[in-house]
Chain A
Amino acid sequence: MILDTGVVWLTIFVLGVFVGIEVISKVSSTLHTPLMSGANAIHGIILLGAILVTGTTDNNLALIVGLIAIVLASVNMVGGFVVTDRMLQMFVRKRPATKDEKDGPA
């Protein structure tokens, strides 16, 4: 039996909803802010989509719009992960907060 492609996508979506709720269901309110920020960084993966559409276009206007999308998406993804890491460093105790923090991704 071959599944309908649309149904496969819908299946992934529905299962994803349950997983998304389940994994964060036990979060303490202490971590709400970093969690929101980390989730925010994860949807920066739209960068992948932006690269794919920009890299396959021949239209000049589309290219410009695509490059803008890439800039915006990289700000979202990279900035999101770095800022989350900075926040989480505050929760690491037993050593003073160092100024020479390491960059996150990229």
Chain B
Amino acid sequence: MPTWIQLVFLACGVCFILALKGLSGPKTARNGNLLGAAAAVVACLMPFFWTDLHLKHVPLIIAAIVVGTIGGVYGAQKVQMTQMPQMVALFNGVGGGAASLVALLELHDVVEAGGDAPWFNLAATAFTIAVGAVSFAGSVVTFAKLQDLMTSRPVVFPGLQYVFPIAAVAALVMGIRLVIAPHMWIGIIIGLLGLLVGLLLVLPVGGADVPIVISMLNAFTGLTVAAGGYVLSNVLLLIAGTLVGASGTFLTLLMARAMGRSVANILFGALKGGSTLGSGEASDRPVKSVTPEDAAIMLAYADRVIIVPGYGLAVAQAQHTLRELVDVLDARGIQVDYAIHPVAGRMPGHMNVLLAEAQVPYEQLREMDDINGDFKDTDVALVVGANDVVNPAAGTTPSAPIYGMPILNADQARQVIFMKRSMRPGFAGIENELLFDERTSLLFGDAKDSMGKLLNAVKAL
């Protein structure tokens, strides 16, 4: 490889570090992302300027890049902000799949050349094939769960606790077999086992924990790319993959901590059984239902109101009307804040993105630890389209899938208004005791519709 190209790769690696650094601060995030994008584009142009390589099939390669680019841009532009998590999962999955295929091709070259390669090289190849496939299959299942193509509840079947380790061990054995005597068919079997492991890994994970799995699979793909860099002797892939693998793993742990869960519990909790508390069906226990006018009076004569927004708010596109309501309440001298649970929405920080889209002032968004002490002095907690993040079962019912997750203490407020479409349980599929509390009033209906009525009722007072 010419020295100047190696130096370009080094510069691109530095840009990736700066990009990640930029992405972790609100002011620098956008430029960080653009810097990363520029470095990636420059790096991918290099093979075309590397004359000694005698790159073949150039028109076909360019055509494939164009197809992928159009697909990627179309998907990224088309996706609703509410569907962002599954889009990230999908992009991550195809990246893992690509890494797996690249390693298979490299194995093909090694086998053609007589199978003579250092053992560590072959081990890295096996790792890339396997983990890339895990990431691909896992991400596709994640996508299906979030896109409601399949149930978001944990999927377990008898014998799963045996099938999963058997598949994982089989992949490992095949990996060792590949190192001893490389053959194409072993590589393909490793890939298929990887797909199976990815599938079995994510199926038992409950809907509420899916965000953490997305982050984890993201880190997996990073490590895959790093190993792929070693296999291809490409330093830039190694640097970029390692950065993403390390930061992704760290981010996964941060998220798990924010939910009060361990990663092992999230992945294998359902295998131990006993986590399927929720029936997924509506309950017929009595609740107190109110009209928008009643709810308006409760809000308008309060001194302190905390709003707990959830995914349902964003799905109904009611965040703009909510902001108007808050403005009106604010004008009446009522102190209003938004309480943002770390995993409100579908991913950590997702709700911040959704509310920022509605131009809610940044200062009104309060994080959980910051606001949880305020609920007991709050007159009304208005829960809009959220459920699991205020479910007291997280603290009281050890068998609940969300047990141990810190919640917003909406149950400590003097009154709670729930805006709900129906009595269906939340994403985690567990019934919420708070709905049946005597201080709780339910305002049924589409969030945007009821929010509009509530706004008009408050204005009329």
Q: How many residues of B contact A (CB 8 A)?
A: 109
A36 with B214: CB separation less than 8 A? yes
Residues in A whose Cβ lies below 8 Å from that of B98: 46-47, 50, 69-70, 72-73, 76
Q: Are B348 and A87 in contact (CB under 8 A)?
A: no
Question: Contact at B37–A105, with CB atoms within 8 Å?
Answer: yes
Q: Mark contacts of B99-129 with chain A using CB atoms, 8 A cut-off: 1 yes-contact digit, 0 otherwise.
A: 1011011101100100000101000000000
> Which residues in A have their C-beta under 8 angstroms from that of B88?
33, 36-37, 40, 80, 83
Q: Given A41-B40, A75-B71, check contact A33 B222 (CB 8 Å).
A: no
The answer to whether A51 and B105 have CB atoms under 8 Å apart is no
List CB contacts (< 8 Å) of B74-109 with chain A. 75-77, 79, 81, 84-85, 87-88, 91-92, 94-95, 97-99, 101-102, 104-106, 108-109
| B73 and A82 form a contact (CB under 8 A) | yes
Beta-carbon contacts of A53-77 to B below 8 Å, as 1s and 0s? 1111111001101111111111111
Q: Is the pair B56, A56 in contact by a Cβ cutoff of 8 Å?
A: yes
Contact A76 B92 (CB under 8 A): yes
Using A31-B24, A44-B95 as known contacts, say yes or no to A20 and B33 having CB atoms under 8 A apart. Answer: no
Q: Which of these, B30, B40, B67, B94, contacts A45 with CB under 8 Å?
A: B40
Which chain A positions have C-beta within 8 A of B242? 12-13, 16-17, 20
**Contact of B65 with A86 in the complex, beta carbons under 8 Å:** no
Q: How far is the CB of B129 from chain A (nearest CB, A)?
A: 12
Interface residues of B in 6-54 (CB under 8 A from A): 16-17, 19-21, 23-26, 29-30, 32-34, 36-38, 40-41, 43-44, 46-47, 53
Query: Chain B 218-245, CB within 8 Å of chain A: the 1/0 string?
Result: 1001101110111010111111111111
Is B60's CB within 8 Å of the partner chain A? yes
Q: Contact check: which of A34, A74, A84, A91 meets B68 at CB < 8 Å? A: A74
B308 touches A (CB below 8 Å): no
Q: Indicate if the CB atoms of B91 and A83 lie closer than 8 Å.
A: yes
When distances are taken between beta carbons in the complex, the residues of chain A under 8 Å from B92 are: 40, 43, 76
Contacts of A101 in B (CB 8 A): 77
Interface presence of B251 (CB below 8 A): yes
CB distance from B80 to the nearest CB of A (A): 11
Determine whether the beta carbon of B240 is less than 8 Å from that of A79: no
Query: Would you call the interface of chain A mostly helix, strand, loop, or mixed?
Result: helix
A92-B235 Cα distance, complex, nearest whole Å:
35
Task: Name the interface size band of chain A.
Answer: 35 or more
User: 8 Å CB contacts to A: which residues of B349-398?
Assistant: 349-350, 352-353, 356-357, 359, 362, 365, 367
What's the Cα separation between A53 and B353 when bound, in Å?
Answer: 38
For the complex formed, measure the closest distance between the CB of A105 and the CB atoms of chain B, giving whole angstroms: 4
A71, B68: Cβ atoms closer than 8 Å = yes
Which of chain B's residues has its CB closest to A12's CB? B238
A65 near B37: Cβ-Cβ < 8 Å = no
Within the complex, which residue of B61, B76, B254 is in contact with A67, where a contact is CB–CB below 8 Å?
Answer: B61
Q: CB-CB < 8 A to B73: which residues of A?
A: 78-79, 82, 103, 106
Query: Which of chain A's residues has its CB closest to B252's CB?
Result: A36
- Chain A minimum-CB-distance residue to B95: A76
Tell which of B56, B239, B357 touches A16, judged by Cβ atoms closer than 8 Å.
B239
CB of B268 within 8 Å of the partner chain = no
Within the complex, the shortest CB–CB distance from B202 to chain A, in Å, comes to 16
B441 touches A (CB below 8 Å): no
Query: For the complex, is B436 an interface residue (Cβ under 8 Å from A)?
Result: no
Q: How far is the CA of A100 from the CA of B208 in the complex (A)?
A: 34
**Contact pick for B91, options A17, A50, A76, CB 8 Å:** A76
Check B353–A52 contact: CB distance below 8 A: no
CB of B335 within 8 A of chain A?
A: no
Query: With a CB–CB cut-off of 8 A, which chain B residues contact A40?
Result: 88, 91-92, 95, 218, 221, 244
Which residues from chain A sit less than 8 Å from chain B, CB to CB?
A: 6, 9, 12-13, 16-21, 23-59, 62-63, 65-93, 96-97, 101, 103-106
| Pairs of residues from A and B, 5 with the lowest C-beta to C-beta distance, nearest first | A74-B68, A79-B72, A20-B246, A16-B242, A76-B95
Given contacts A49-B234, A72-B97, 14 further A-B contacts (CB under 8 A): A36-B251, A45-B240, A51-B44, A55-B61, A57-B109, A73-B94, A74-B69, A74-B71, A82-B72, A83-B91, A91-B29, A97-B359, A106-B65, A106-B73
